């Protein structure tokens, strides 16, 4: 899922996302709650209409964003008190409010409010965090099953909105197992693994993915939250993960780092100054079909908006193409080959600064 934090995938229009073959976008509860406010979006008919995206949208619960405000938040049993990163105003996010927000947004997949366990965390901390997450998950489901908000009071309601549970447990195998069991017991439409890629070593992250993914039901989507490094994706898919989201393709694009069939390229390199060839000769995206490395470098060095557009378009194309090919390899029973073929390319940062 490409990430559209503020109700737009940065630098892209929804038409372009559709043309690129994006099937679902992620948007952020935390950000949209603070600005413009979920009630406003509800009043104008929900997030799809607001941002002009007809495909599915998954909204995260805001849990991760609030968790990231390390010094600005206080975790309580009831919810999380925090100060807005925009204006310092005080807010209190609860499972009920998070569900109200996601109802008003009308996303197709809502996420439960969880406490993202930090790394490192003691086992005691991780256990408490797990218990809180289970408690909040129940409250989220209850709130979801409550009647929809009154129309006219900022209410919009997507009747088919799915709700996904989130497994926490830090880097402790037994706690991951406990969390998975408790969350599965509640019964959700899909299950996510949260609290990874928060500072732990990669081996530990892989261990947790490989341990936790098989615990989740086979017949429901398994979603690994916030992971998008494609080497990690290959590992996670091996473990049975189905869904991902990450700002990697879009954020890297804006910083001039581009993913190609030969590896990772930094477009600002001096050697591209006079390079009239395409960014990636094997790529069929609009950027590669129309522009030279020389022009892309010039746009980037001049800080032109078109630089962000063209780079983002390319990186999203690369990612979506990667996932399309990966799915195809899975259907054909050739995922192992796919992984072996792609791994060295993904490891090649041949023009990294």
Burial class (CB in 10 A: 0-12, 13-18, 19+), 6: middle
> Whole-angstrom Cα distance, residue 17 to residue 20?
5
294 in contact with a second copy (CB under 8 A): yes
DSSP state of 13: -
Pairing mode of beta strands 263-266, 257-260: antiparallel
**Element at 224 (helix H, strand E):** strand 222-224
Structure tokens at 124: 């005691």
Q: How far is the CB of 170 from a second copy (least distance, A)?
A: 33
The residue within the footprint of a second copy, chosen from 18, 19, 21, 44 (CB under 8 A), is 44
Q: Which of the residues 15, 245, 275, 280 is marked catalytic?
A: 245
Cα 321-327-333 angle, rounded to 5 deg = 135
Q: How far is the CB of 77 from a second copy (least distance, A)?
A: 33
10 in contact with a second copy (CB under 8 A): yes
Q: Residue 307: how many CA atoms within 13 Å on its side-chain side?
A: 21
Q: Which of the residues 19, 60, 229, 232 is marked catalytic?
A: 60
291 in contact with a second copy (CB under 8 A): yes
> Whole-angstrom Cα distance, residue 244 to residue 233?
8
Q: How far is the CB of 281 from a second copy (least distance, A)?
A: 16
Write out the DSSP string of 44-104.
TT-HHHHHT--S-EEE--SHHHHHH-GGGEEE-SS-EEEE-TTT--EEEE-HHHHHHHHHH
Chain centroid to CA 180: how far? 20
Segment 298 to 337, residues that bind a second copy, using CB under 8 A: 298-299, 301-302, 304-306, 308-309
Structure tokens at 279: 């960014």
Note if 275 is an active site residue. no
**Which of 10, 83 has the CB closer to a second copy?**
10
103 in contact with a second copy (CB under 8 A): no
Q: How far is the CB of 194 from a second copy (least distance, A)?
A: 25
**Which of 50, 136 has the CB closer to a second copy?**
50
345 in contact with a second copy (CB under 8 A): no
295 in contact with a second copy (CB under 8 A): yes
> Whole-angstrom Cα distance, residue 135 to residue 115?
10
Segment 248 to 277, residues that bind a second copy, using CB under 8 A: 273-274, 276
6 in contact with a second copy (CB under 8 A): yes
The residue within the footprint of a second copy, chosen from 21, 45, 201, 214 (CB under 8 A), is 45
* Spatial contact of 67 and 113, defined as CB atoms under 8 Å apart: no
Q: How far is the CB of 18 from a second copy (least distance, A)?
A: 13
Binding site for a second copy (CB under 8 A): 6-8, 10-13, 35-36, 40, 43-45, 50-52, 273-274, 276, 290-292, 294-295, 297-299, 301-302, 304-306, 308-309
Positions annotated as catalytic residues are 60, 245
């Amino acid at each position: 899922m490409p990430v559209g934090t503020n109700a737009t995938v940065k630098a892209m229009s929804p038409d372009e996302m559709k043309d690129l073959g994006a099937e679902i976008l992620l948007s952020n509860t935390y950000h949209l709650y603070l600005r413009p406010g979920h009630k406003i979006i509800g009043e104008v008919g929900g997030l799809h209409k607001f941002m002009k995206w007809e495909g599915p949208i998954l909204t995260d619960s805001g849990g991760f964003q609030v968790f990231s405000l390390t010094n600005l938040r206080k975790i309580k049993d009831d919810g999380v008190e925090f100060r807005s990163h925009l204006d310092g105003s005080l807010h209190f996010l609860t499972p009920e409010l998070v569900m109200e927000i996601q109802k008003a947004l009308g996303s197709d997949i809502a996420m439960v409010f969880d406490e993202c366990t930090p790394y490192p965390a003691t086992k005691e901390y991780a256990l408490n965090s797990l218990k809180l997450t289970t408690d909040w998950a129940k409250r989220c489901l209850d709130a979801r099953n409550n009647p929809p908000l009154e129309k006219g009071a900022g209410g919009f309601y997507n009747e088919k909105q799915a709700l996904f549970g989130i497994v926490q447990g830090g880097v402790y195998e037994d706690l991951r197992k406990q969390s998975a069991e408790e969350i599965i017991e509640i019964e959700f439409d899909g299950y996510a693994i949260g609290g990874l890629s928060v500072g732990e070593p990669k081996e530990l992250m892989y261990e947790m993915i490989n341990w936790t993914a098989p615990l989740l039901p086979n017949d429901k989507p398994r979603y690994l939250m916030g992971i998008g490094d494609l080497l990690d994706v290959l590992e996670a898919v091996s473990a049975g993960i189905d869904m991902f989201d990450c700002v990697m393709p879009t954020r890297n694009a804006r910083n001039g780092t581009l993913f190609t069939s030969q590896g990772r390229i930094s477009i600002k390199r001096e050697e591209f100054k006079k390079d009239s060839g395409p960014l990636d000769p094997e790529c069929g995206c609009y950027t590669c079909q129309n522009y030279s490395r020389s022009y892309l470098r010039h746009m980037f060095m001049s800080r032109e908006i078109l630089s962000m557009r063209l780079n983002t378009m390319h990186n999203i194309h690369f990612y979506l193409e990667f996932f399309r090919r990966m799915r195809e390899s899975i259907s054909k029973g050739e995922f192992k080959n796919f992984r072996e073929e792609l791994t060295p390319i993904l490891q090649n940062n041949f023009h990294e600064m």
